Chains A and B, each alone.
Chain A
């Protein structure tokens, strides 16, 4: 059934010039935005989401996934050429990519990054195709207590993997949960935090909040200490690599891809964690670890393969459980919900076409990134010369028009600006904003399933501990939240 849908969708997309044009457009936009320092993949996706409002869901997915996949590689362009990572996950690519560019081999470095990114993405996609149905099949046995536990696990896991204190990040996640509850309650029709105003009664719209937090918030943050980016004139040199230079690194690509997929599949672990582990692992296994940091190709191949593979990994919990794997899949989930699509375990049985859309979109986006990326290697230098200040202003305009486009309502523009300010203030105070986005998405799932579970058990909280999966997930959450306390107690005990 799924295979038939996959082939149908693939043939449909390949035979449509409009679809192919859209993939190329999404890929070029993703590459350009990803390459500009200060514009992350999440921001690229958030600001381009409004463009898809009038599109069919499948077409919208194709466009957004093309932007997503290509921006992952795009981040490495400025990392290699300017030592300015376009996205947080490309921090490790710059360590060896920039020295290679300094040696006049920027073309080779970009080629290594592109090819390993494509291969990593393909391996991630293969894992997604293999593992997502298995996890979804397993999750069909999930009932309200398990879904409530999975939602809580997602929020706590993200808080744990955020920079800084887990407890503080969890509290930020709770702010998201509270905001997600504004409006009418689905079970009792009670109004919550609405002040009886029509604007708040329908709840806060997710998209302007996401555009504000990740789009405008980042621009405002970039405007503080605003300074000229260094003028770098890198030499691209030769572009094409001898084939044996690539084939001899298949083990490095495979290791990076496997690490990327599995780390990416852990809810909230994210590509930055996957990339750092892949780089550290490769350096540890290398016969010449001292060459890492001086322009070693393995130092580009491993993190790039892991980075791209983590996309497939992060889509596994999204498709199978309806829980985003990281920030960017949280934004993607927001886009899906906007088009009336809710991912989850029953998706494979009820809507295989939707799953096929995602698989085909990832596949085509990877191929397009390889083709367009190879063609754009010489032009990459031009991308890095786009003054960021021009892009900030343009993106701000895009945020305003995009927020308005959601419901043709100027109130959404004010919501977007308010959340932009929230994102900015939180960043200034070193508070993570991603848990808030997770709370916004997972909060309603958590609340609905928590209350349903308690209604089933007639108010007994033991229902969450009686069912093994929810019990294990809740115990993990408790453990993760108590780690700071355990650490503190350990330090005190040792001091005695």
Chain B
């Protein structure tokens, strides 16, 4: 039995502990906002937080979450009120949208550590998240915008 929390809710699972966290989140827990893209930590579509740290859930065995707190895109905010989601709306970032959960989850960790990131900070934090549609220019603008929104009192 593996026990952890997902978006604040306790989860008890009787599951092979080597199963990647991604598939537990998607298939057992039915939270499909976290996406599969590569299965080898190359693209970042599966990024979630474990105790606040960005993790590629496609290569993280579910055992790694045991006793910890997992946040997925569904837990970022209940109502699109997170400054990142607001900024993503303002900049109209997504195209196909498939990678955007992972982009937002990586950006959330960046802003927690660096509330006013430079372009270099963004390069470093976001380079593991591929967007095939090429929304990078808008992602960059949106992260700067989210930093502004957060500092002007919009932070959760």
Are A and B associated in one complex? no
